[in-house]
Amino acid sequence: MVRATLNNHATLLNREASWLKFNGRVLEEAGDPRNPLLERVKFLAISASNLDEFFEVRVGGLLQQLEDGHNSTTPDGLTMVEERELIKEATHEFVEEQYSCWNDRLRPELAEQGIRVLGIDELDSEALAFVDAYCERELDPLLTPVTVDPAHPFPRVINKALCVALLLRRRRRSSLTYTGVVTVPRALPRLVRLPSPGTIDFIFLADLVLHHAARMYKGYDIVSSAAFRVTRNSNLYLQEEESRSLLESVREELHNRRKGDAVRMEIESEANPEIIERLGTVFELEPWQIFQVNGPVNLSRLFNIYDGAARPDLKFHAYVPRELRLTAKSHDLFEELRRHDILLHHPYDSYDAVLSFVQAAAEDERVLSIKQTLYRTGEHSQVVQALMAAAAHKEVTAVVELKARFDEASNIRWARDLEDSGVQVFHGLVALKTHCKLCLLVRRDPDGVTRQYAHLGTGNYNATTARIYTDLSLLTADPEITRAVHDVFSFLTAYAEHPGYGPLMVAPLDLAEKCMSLIEREAEHARMGRPARIIAKMNALLDVHIIQALYRASQAGVEIELLVRGMCALRPGVRGLSDRIRVRSILGRFLEHSRIFYFENGGEPEVYVGSADWMNRNLHGRVEVLFPLKNPLLRDRVVHEILAACLADNVKSRFLQKDGRYLRPWQSPKGRGKRPPRGASAFCAQDFLIALAEGSKTPEEIPAAVPHRSSRQRVSSGRTLLGRALKGISKTIS
């Protein structure tokens, strides 16, 4: 039993175990028949891509520390060796579940719908003729077969490159076996579409390489062969204080990352044991780091099925985002912002309004300067293009974060292009990532007054991810906010610290302290008998000090609703510690990415939005910004549309239990589950918000939320505490 003491390790859940549970929820979506079939294939591919990053970053970092002789204790009380053992067992179980999902469910169901993934032995004569021609015409020119011998060392296999290993025996010297290695070319699609009337057929490119191997290794007998893939430690180890150029340091480390220590190898389950042994020795892997998979190596390749199958009936229905419409009195966006702030909820509200804000600034001769942060921009960034165009005739400053994980190379290219076009480019601050999402314009308006306009957001300036991530954007001309944004840019470009950044909260300067203060203020309201409630939505909750503050608030009587999509170290529902805390995770067609923090504040509610999760890295290792929604109408929208819909969701929500499990709203902790809601009783927040954007629903149609609580916690009136919470919020804001 968990004791209700704040300093007990047992009051915290393990970070890595929590992440693995999160990825398990992604995999659950792949197995959920209520999702369209091709979307389920996509969820399986996402779970594989997520696991790649977990090994590249988390496992790679853990093994590096153990190799360096560290074995410290994690906040939940596990040693690093114990954490490695936890990961060892959980990841192998997870991979088995992935391939069971593919082999037993998705592949047969795809075949029933006329979408087949075939092996060489399943091809008819026409398909075989196509494959032979494809191999000669497209594949063979890109292949470099290698036979390992004293003159030909084992090739340097780069991170996550799909390869084929072979055991070879020369016909003239049959007593010796050699290792052959062929890298599957990245320039070709991972699944090749076959000509097949009436069905949509694919074959994996690795199977074509295996099929073609005999033609590459003439003079050899192929004893055995298997596809494999190696994942390497992809952490960047930068000595920023000793570096003359951060850009050059990142470039050098990116080159090294492709050759980092191997942390995992995936190989076909039927691979010859001698191949496995040879590869394990080459890559210096322990047995637990070798994953023998019952199916295609690298399930993230299944994205190609989703993209290559023109079957809209097997995907989520298309929808049209709501476009920003100016009021009749406004001639342009800037005049509109002088009248009132604008809040956008992406992807339900079109991201074009944000792009228009930046592009209008670039083209408007009244705009004198633009300042912009860039974290993950994408390969074809309209924002970056607009900044480069603007630099020809106005002052443009860009703070480009070079250390945005896995976007480093793209950001280096953009940084160079921006500098070449005349933009002043900065790379943030030493030892701090620039993660805040800010754009600031200075404009001389028609009335002769010079004003500042700002965009503040929770998501990246990336039009592609804006279609699949839920995020919030605030467009404002509020003098207090724009002045504070100006001060943040001064901090980023000159390390110039101001006495305060109000009304913003800025990490690493005061954000952690102010969040703690807001939580403690709610606790004091509760102790004094005033309305006290916290509703917080974020990607992850791991910071120990924040968690302890939430525990204290719960003990004081604060009702706390947490919407945490991913990792959560807090244990809810522990008697005497976290009775009043409920944690749920929502996973659906969109990635829940917005961060929202609601504090009831004794009947005078405050809502903050921004880029920061409640994690140590966000609070202390990054430059982050939380900003208030000062306009009551905007606060009302966030509470009554976004938070209310999320809290009412009984389709895509899972509730965190104190033992670390996640259960659906209808599932009992003892395993006696009920049937999932159907028809009118089923409420999916994301589907509802799409309908709301399209105009077919209204906020008044959001049902009263039903929390996941035991019978002893229900109120006698029949209304749940959460239902009362939303009703109370409605009264205080109205």
Structure tokens at 674: 């009920």
Task: Name 388's Cβ contacts closer than 8 Å, sequence gap at least 6.
Answer: 417, 418, 421, 422, 423
Calpha distance 142→2 (Å, rounded): 59
Calpha distance 467→162 (Å, rounded): 30
Residue among 607, 594, 473, 474 at smallest CA distance from 535: 607
Name the active-site residue from 212, 427, 435, 525.
435
Structure tokens at 665: 């709203």
Task: Name 171's Cβ contacts closer than 8 Å, sequence gap at least 6.
Answer: 219, 220, 221
Contact 428, 455 (CB under 8 A): no
Contact 242, 221 (CB under 8 A): no
**Tokens 């074009």 map to which residue?**
352
Beta strands in 375-449 (DSSP E): 395-400, 424-426, 433-434, 437-444
End-to-end CA distance of the chain: 43
Report the greatest alpha carbon distance in the chain: 91
Amino acid at 326: L
Calpha distance 434→394 (Å, rounded): 24
Amino acid at 676: P
DSSP 232-254: E-------GGG-S-HHHHHHHHH
CA distances for 45 relative to 51, 338, 543, angstroms: 10, 45, 30
Question: Which stretches of 495-624 are DSSP H helices?
Answer: 511-527, 544-556, 616-620
Calpha distance 76→412 (Å, rounded): 38
Catalogue the long-range contacts made by 729-732 (C-beta closer than 8 Å, 24 or more residues apart).
729/533, 729/598, 729/600, 729/605, 729/639, 729/640, 730/639, 730/640, 732/531, 732/600, 732/603, 732/604, 732/605
Calpha distance 397→377 (Å, rounded): 16
Three-state SS for 713?
A: helix
CA distances for 569 relative to 12, 151, 539, 692, 707, angstroms: 5, 52, 12, 33, 20
Work out the number of other CB atoms within 10 angstroms of the CB of residue 92. 14
435 in catalytic set: yes
Calpha distance 655→644 (Å, rounded): 16
Question: Which stretches of 263-381 are DSSP H helices?
Answer: 273-282, 303-308, 333-339, 352-363
Calpha distance 333→325 (Å, rounded): 9
Q: Report CA Rg, the chain.
A: 28
Structure tokens at 542: 């791991």
Q: Which are the catalytic amino acids?
A: 435
